[in-house]
Amino acid sequence: MKTTKIEWTDKTWNPITGCTKISAGCANCYAEVMFKRLQAMKQDKYKNGFTLTMHNDVLDEPIKWKKPHTIFVCSMSDLFHENVPFVFIDKVMETIKSTPQHNYQILTKRASRMAEYFSDKSIPENAWLGVTVDIASSKSRIDFLRNLNAPIKFLSCEPLLEDLGDMNLDGIDWVIVGGESGVRARPMKEEWVTNIKVQSEKQGSAFFFKQWGTWGSDGIKRNKKANGKLINGKVYQAMPTL
């Protein structure tokens, strides 16, 4: 059963919560907004606010899920945050390795730290690794990812904040694109999306368009549901093949 609203995954697992901003896309961080709500609901796990916190008590959570799931790791943080000790990441990887019935999606903006972590460790066969590319200057993260031996390597271009220009997608299996939502959302232009779609198709990466967000393809601000997820009347939500 799908227990998250994130379209390209079906479960979330948060052994770490809280973060600090590192990228243009962090300005209206979804996790930070969610934190305020969860804190107001007095949920114990979120009592520290957005301060980075490790949760040893949920490290074995996926072991209890017997049915196979596609699990997004750390939707409320960044696993490779500089304050997460490698020994804690080791524990996360142990759980991933011990649950081959699941696939795990690990997305980071700290691409160099992810590469450093895996420089002397094997990547679990069920761990998909991804980096966020929200502005053109963050394309350097792709090079750190490309050199890693993960079964699936993916990009999340969300929120897409400017034209990314030419992209080298060699070795990249999957590209997700989406616009920002919320009251402070920044607009995304249709030509920025088309540029990535065309390059993904040419270079053989599966292309997944999540949503326009608060700004429609026509450049008008309205409800994100009304703006939808069509590009020229079609849904593009390809998944990578293992």
Binding test (CB under 6 A) with ligand SF4, winner from 19, 131, 167, 193? 19
Query: Is 199 a binder of ligand SF4 (CB under 6 A)?
Result: no
Query: Is 52 a binder of ligand SF4 (CB under 6 A)?
Result: no
Element (H, E) at 104: strand 103-108
Query: Is 73 a binder of ligand SF4 (CB under 6 A)?
Result: no
Query: Is 224 a binder of ligand SF4 (CB under 6 A)?
Result: no
Query: Is 127 a binder of ligand SF4 (CB under 6 A)?
Result: no
Query: Is 141 a binder of ligand SF4 (CB under 6 A)?
Result: no
Residue 29 C-beta: closest distance to ligand SF4, Å: 3
SS3 content of the chain, % helix, strand, coil (to 5): 30, 20, 50
Residue 134 C-beta: closest distance to ligand SF4, Å: 9
Looking at the Cβ atoms of 139 and 197, the one nearer to ligand SF4 is: 139
Whole-angstrom Cα distance, residue 19 to residue 171? 29
Query: Is 115 a binder of ligand SF4 (CB under 6 A)?
Result: no
Binding test (CB under 6 A) with ligand SF4, winner from 6, 8, 22, 58? 22
Of 19, 20, 46, 21, the closest CA to residue 35 belongs to: 46
Looking at the Cβ atoms of 6 and 29, the one nearer to ligand SF4 is: 29
Query: Is 78 a binder of ligand SF4 (CB under 6 A)?
Result: yes
Identify each DSSP E strand in 189-240 by its residue range: 206-211, 230-231, 234-235
The interface region with ligand SF4, picked from 15-23, 94-102, 148-156, 220-228 by CB under 6 A, is: 15-23
3-state secondary structure of 207: strand
The interface region with ligand SF4, picked from 26-34, 90-98, 113-121, 164-172 by CB under 6 A, is: 26-34
Residue 111 C-beta: closest distance to ligand SF4, Å: 11
Whole-angstrom Cα distance, residue 61 to residue 63? 5
Work out whether the CA dihedral 7, 165, 81, 123 comes out positive or negative.
positive
Binding test (CB under 6 A) with ligand SF4, winner from 9, 14, 17, 77? 77
Enumerate binding residues for ligand SF4 (CB under 6 A). Answer: 19, 21-23, 25-26, 29, 31-32, 77-78, 109
